[in-house]
Amino acid sequence: MWQKTFIVLASLAHIANTKPVGNATSEFRSKCTDLALSLDIPHGTVSSSSLVAAGSTLQFPNSDPTCTRPSQSVSVDLCRVTLTVATSNRSSISMETWLPANWTGRFLSTGNGGLGGCIQYEDIEYGASLGFATVGTNNGHDGMTGESFLNNADVVEDFAYRALHTGVVIGKKISASFYGTQHSKSYYLGCSTGGRQGMKEAQTFPDDFDGIVAGAPAMAFNNLTSWSSHFLPLTGLPDAPTFIPLDMWPTIAQDVMNQCDLDDGLADGILASPDLCDYNPEGLCCGVSTNSTNCLTTTQVQTLKSIYSPLLDANGDLVYPRLQPGAELLGAPQTYFTGQPFGASDWFKYAIFNDPNWDPMSLKPADYVLSSSLNRFNIETFDGDLSAFQKKGGKLLHYHGLVDPVISSENSPRYYQHVSDTMGLSSTQLDEFYRYFPVSGMTHCSGGPGAAFIGNSARNSASLDPQENVLMRMIDWVENGNAPETITGVAFVNGTVESGIAFKRNHCKWPARNQYQGSGDPNNADSWKCL
């Protein structure tokens, strides 16, 4: 998650349950144990290579608590390699390479989240369980805060692109060394900061992957960070006249639904095209009264209008699109409108101003421009020219939840359009290598009231059918030419798999939009059309 924080001292992790319950051969085991001795990694120090049996649970007792990853269960027999790699004389990455016994010949890199700082073990396990030789790194620092950026541009550079790329190059080498042959195809799976990392790879390292699945990308990074951080000075502290009390948000949510829910043809509490919702909060205005619990003052209405307007700089130029309406009950107020600094304001504190005492409340429009002008190591990740990736035959599947409360989904079609404009390609032409899917009713990377299970992570996977699983779809696209026309998402009753399927929905390929056809069971995917 963008807003969380994490640390992992991977090399100090150990296996709690060493009982071999899997079926790995003794040959696999000894090959794995010997691997650490034979690997020659430039600037690298291999800490261990050891067999992890299916059914084991790895414990990480020394991991940073902000990573909230104290352990990881492992479902397949695999060889786990832990190492550190220096990226300069004052920076390094920690990385893991998991080499499954039932290798399919494929390679996969996972990504990171927020300002982390954390190896996403659950994603590495997902990849390994599906037969990928899978890598993940700590993105060049430990933990979810930006403190490590202070006075160290090399750590910033790792975060911008270098940690991930280094992990890929070295991970492929380790995989080849272990299996005795190069991987067949190479894939990437990430969301949020991980989505940005996927886009960075498509833009800058086109040879790293054959297929990239990038979700809710934190791209236009400097400007996203300005947008994320500007809500505090916008709302003010809870006692400010501009502040909107948290208990007003359900009323605002209802007002949004009253105005826009039917835009997609069905009053179901989900906006299939929130970008078309021109929400007007005037109806909630009760003038200057400040003691009502079901209406807003004129000043608060102005705050609300700003939240649902694009953020501009002092010259009137776009910094970042508005928050899409519809996420009022799905975490947006708790993320941004609490009167507390947002975690990513650490970017300003440690990477832009290099000043631990910088006050997030002091953020001003000139700072947006400063951050985007500095654009440390091109962390913006908004280059529109993907021609090198296209030429090598790469495929890019981009998705974004339309009730994302953290990274506005309105930035994703903006990037798609930017690529179209930059390359001079129509949507039909982009289809060859780049497809974007808005996912209605999905929050930040997973969850939400819509058909949000799309296989982008283990916990968000309902099926391995390529039609219902974006990672399996990417394999099918790269290896068999079966490109996604729609992505079918699954919604479970009460959001829990055990309760059974509530409905499925075919999420449309942008710029098509999902529209209820006015009759037929709305829970039947065929009652909707991509128009």
What is the contact surface with Ca ion in residues (CB under 5 A)?
A: 261, 264, 266, 268
Based on the residue annotation, tell me whether 444 is a catalytic residue of this protein. Answer: yes
Minimum distance, C-beta of residue 504 to Ca ion, in the bound complex (Å): 16
**Residue 349 DSSP class:** I
Closer of 26 and 519 to Ca ion (Cβ): 519
Closer of 96 and 261 to Ca ion (Cβ): 261
Instruction: Decide if 400 contacts 409 (C-beta within 8 A).
Output: yes
Rounded to whole angstroms, how far apart are CA atoms 203 and 200? 5
Minimum distance, C-beta of residue 332 to Ca ion, in the bound complex (Å): 18
Rounded to whole angstroms, how far apart are CA atoms 18 and 37? 21
Closer of 266 and 490 to Ca ion (Cβ): 266
Reference 6, options 175, 166, 204, 192; nearest CA is 192
Minimum distance, C-beta of residue 326 to Ca ion, in the bound complex (Å): 9
Which one from 404, 409, 476, 507 is the annotated catalytic residue?
Answer: 404
Counts of helices then strands in the chain (DSSP H, E): 15, 18
Closer of 258 and 422 to Ca ion (Cβ): 258
Residue 398, beta-bridge partner list: 214, 436
Angle at 129 between CA 127 and CA 130, to 5 degrees: 65
Which one from 230, 400, 444, 507 is the annotated catalytic residue?
Answer: 444
Rounded to whole angstroms, how far apart are CA atoms 449 and 494? 8
Rounded to whole angstroms, how far apart are CA atoms 437 and 16? 41
Closer of 24 and 266 to Ca ion (Cβ): 266
Which one from 47, 192, 229, 409 is the annotated catalytic residue?
Answer: 192
Angle at 204 between CA 202 and CA 205, to 5 degrees: 75
Pairing of the two strands 91-100 and 133-137: antiparallel
3-class secondary structure, 372: helix
**How much of the chain is in helix, strand and coil states, percent to nearest 5?**
40, 20, 45
Based on the residue annotation, tell me whether 263 is a catalytic residue of this protein. Answer: no
Rounded to whole angstroms, how far apart are CA atoms 387 and 423? 7
Closer of 125 and 328 to Ca ion (Cβ): 328
Rounded to 5 degrees, φ, ψ at 516 are: -70, 140
Rounded to whole angstroms, how far apart are CA atoms 525 and 522? 7
- CA 512, distance to chain mean position in Å, is 23
Based on the residue annotation, tell me whether 313 is a catalytic residue of this protein. Answer: no
Catalytic annotation, residues? 192, 404, 444
